[in-house]
């Protein structure tokens, strides 16, 4: 059943940050671009640049934050644009609901990342991180595939250095003609690690707001 997108669905304002839940414990930052009748459009996540595994008909949830809670909306992927600006058109499949579950919000970037696969080490740069995964850029060829186990050491500034071991979710060419690869790694955080990452992301968000207001 498709729920008509109307005032009753209480979508946020156009331009609001939205998050696409495309994997267990992992979400990708996006933005609401438009609402048109029974569907709405969001920016395509950078992680899906190039050949993608997402096709019309797939279903997943999106969420956005309000001052007191997060709103979850089950959706179905209706269409993907094949030229810039890249957009995904989505249709709700159920009414939105409030969620008490903590969803992982990504942030940060620029920190050095050291990836390890067996005895091989790769140097890269952090693009963003959450309690459930990280996305990084490496500028050298690497035989990495979804499902591979990978270790990562990341410097979180004042929060210190963290080491995680996880599973590769996606490996894609860097978008916009940039060299190298974007690697998304998912992992499970204990409370101590999760708190370090939350503090790092919070500090990054505060600094980003200050830069926008400067």
Beta strands in 15-132 (DSSP E): 17-23, 26-36, 39-43, 59-65, 70-80, 87-92, 97-99, 112-117, 120-130
Instruction: Indicate whether 195 pLDDT > 70.
Output: yes
Does 206 have pLDDT greater than 90?
Answer: no
Domains present along the chain, CATH in parentheses: 7-99 (2.30.110.10), 112-213 (2.40.10.220)
For the cut 60, the answer to whether the pLDDT of residue 79 exceeds it is yes
Strands 133-138 and 87-92: unpaired
Q: What is the mean pLDDT of residues 167-185?
A: 86
Q: What is the per-residue pLDDT across 29-45, written as a single tens digit (0 to 9) for each? A: 788 999 988 899 999 88
- Tell whether the model's pLDDT for residue 54 goes beyond 60: yes
| Average pLDDT over all residues of the chain | 82
- What span, in angstroms and rounded, lies between the C-alpha atoms of 113 and 69? 32
Per-residue confidence band for 15, with pLDDT thresholds at 50, 70 and 90: confident
Kind and range of the H or E run holding 205 = helix 191-213
Instruction: Evaluate if pTM is beyond 0.75.
Output: no
Q: Percent of the chain at pLDDT above 70? A: 84
How many CB atoms are located within 10 Å of the residue 116 CB?
15
Asked if pLDDT for residue 93 goes beyond 50, the answer is yes
Please check the confidence at residue 80 and state whether its pLDDT lies above 50: yes
Higher pLDDT, 2 or 112: 112
Query: Average of pLDDT values for 8-18?
Result: 79
DSSP 195: H
Q: What distance, in Å, lies between the first and last C-alpha atoms of the chain?
A: 47
């Amino acid at each position: 059943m498709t729920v008509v997108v109307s005032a009753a669905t209480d979508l946020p304002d156009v331009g609001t940050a939205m998050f696409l839940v495309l994997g267990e414990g992992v979400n990708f930052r996006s933005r609401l671009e438009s609402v048109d009748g029974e569907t709405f459009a969001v920016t395509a996540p950078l992680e899906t640049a190039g050949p993608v595994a997402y096709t019309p008909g797939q279903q997943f949830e999106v969420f956005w934050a309000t001052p007191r809670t997060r709103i979850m909306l089950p959706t179905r992927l209706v269409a993907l644009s094949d030229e810039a600006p890249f957009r995904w058109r989505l249709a709700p499949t159920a009414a939105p609901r409030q969620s008490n579950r903590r969803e992982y919000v990504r942030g940060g970037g620029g920190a050095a990342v050291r990836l390890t696969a067996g005895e091989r080490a790769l140097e890269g740069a952090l693009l963003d991180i959450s309690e459930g995964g990280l996305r990084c850029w490496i500028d050298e060829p690497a035989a990495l595939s979804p499902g591979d186990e990978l270790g990562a050491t990341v410097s979180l500034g004042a929060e210190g250095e963290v080491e995680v071991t996880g599973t590769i979710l996606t490996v894609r060419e860097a978008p916009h003609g940039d060299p190298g690869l974007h690697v998304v790694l998912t992992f499970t955080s204990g409370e101590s690690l999760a708190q370090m990452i939350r503090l790092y992301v919070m500090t990054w968000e505060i600094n980003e707001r200050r830069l926008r207001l400067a």
